[in-house]
Amino acid sequence: MNPRDKRKLLGYAGFIAPGLAIYLFIVAYPVIYSIGLSFTDYNPNRGGEWSFVGLLQYKTMFSNPMFWHSLKNNMIVVAVSAFGQIPIGFALAYILYRGLVKGRDFFQSMVFLPQFLSPIVIGILFRKLVGADGPVSRLLQLMSGDPGKQFTLMLKSGTVMLPIAFALLWMYTGFYMVIFLANLQKIDSHVIEAAKIDGASETQIFGRVIVPMLSGTILVTTILAIAGSLKGFDLIFAITTEGLQRNNAMVLPIFMYQTAFQDYTNTMRFAFGSAISNAIVVISVALIGVANAVAKRFNAGEIG
């Protein structure tokens, strides 16, 4: 390597080093530390003493029915994000971009509005909506003529994710809509005009021109949706009340939190919580890998 290349290399390293250092310290270190912790019985309240316990925490985790229940609910959240928020956000962005509705700015603001609200506020709002004799129950009472009718989906394990899915759609769809809208605006309008001149219908323009051109954006939003869905805690925690509702709607981050921070009967709870958080990381990476593989299979990557 000649001195000029060396200087260049040092220059590159100088640019990369601060970011790398921050990444290693803030992202990589906690992940690696958490992996190490999950093979011990560490509890900071015991004065820093710990022993190596092998795979005990993982065995305990896999044998706990609540883990599988939480994982199932997390997969529902992922599905709602990937197959709900993204397609709806994309469709709304396309409608606004093509000017298919009047009052574009108004609708854009309205759909994006929930992004300005705290998930806790939205959670409490939805909790009031679905509470006893809340607006949803009142509507049911009005429709059924039964004054005692209540909205009980939150009380059943099989249905609790329905109102939560609605809240998730309401809250996050605007975020994806804005991303798609920004990317749609980058598309050269001549391409669409050319397709129109060639006789393409609106559906064909969308399916054969727009979607392929934004496949890279779809991939990025999918990765964002998967990562966000698996670490999502606040909204579900705020919508549900402690006890049956939260148990029904349990997701891995809440399960991890309750285990590590509230279960004082388990003296190894911090290490057990680490095992759960590692499972979240592994599942996230695996799902993102699947998303990448699917994108590769369909040659995702923005054209033009």
Partner 1 sequence: MKKALAFLFVCLALTGMAFANGADEKGDSERITLNVMGYGDNSNQEGISWRRMVTTFQEENPNITIVDELLYDQAYHQKVTARLAAGDAPHLAYMGADARWGAPWKEAGMQIDNRPYIDTNLFDMNLIPEMGPNGERYYLPIGTSNITTVLFMNEPLVQSLGFAAPETYADLVAMVPAAKAAGLQVVSIDGADGWAWGSCLLSALIARTSGDTQWVSKAVAGENAFDDEAMVKALGLIETMVADGVIDSKNVLVDYGSNISAFSNEQALFFVQGQWAAGGVENTDVRNSMKLMAWPTLPGQKSGMEGSVAAAWSVGYGLTKRAEDDGVQEAAAKFLAYVNRVEESTQRLRDGAIVAPVNKGYVVPDDLPVEVAQKVALAQSSLNTEVIDAFLTGPPNDALNAGMQKIAAGEATAAEVAAEVEALARQ
- Contacting residues toward partner 1, per CB under 8 A: 43-45, 47, 127, 130-134, 137, 147-148, 150-152, 154-156, 241-245, 247, 261-267, 270
Query: Nearest-CA neighbor of 277 among 32, 72, 20, 26?
Result: 32
Choose between 101 and 120: whose C-beta lies nearer to partner 1. 120
Task: Give the span between the Cα atoms of 175 and 247, in whole angstroms.
Answer: 29
Consecutive H or E run containing 34: helix 29-37
- Rounded to a whole number, what is the distance in angstroms from the first to the last CA of the chain? 37
How near is the Cβ of 124 to partner 1 at its closest, in Å? 10
**Helices 215-231/252-262 angle, 10° precision:** 30
Choose between 108 and 157: whose C-beta lies nearer to partner 1. 157
How near is the Cβ of 227 to partner 1 at its closest, in Å? 24
> Which residues are CB-neighbours of 129 under 8 A, at least 6 positions away?
135, 136
HSE of 86, CA atoms in CB hemisphere, 13 A: 23
- Tokens coding 61: 């985790």
Choose between 201 and 267: whose C-beta lies nearer to partner 1. 267
How near is the Cβ of 119 to partner 1 at its closest, in Å? 15
How near is the Cβ of 155 to partner 1 at its closest, in Å? 5
Task: Give the span between the Cα atoms of 303 and 210, in whole angstroms.
Answer: 10
How near is the Cβ of 22 to partner 1 at its closest, in Å? 18
Choose between 159 and 185: whose C-beta lies nearer to partner 1. 159
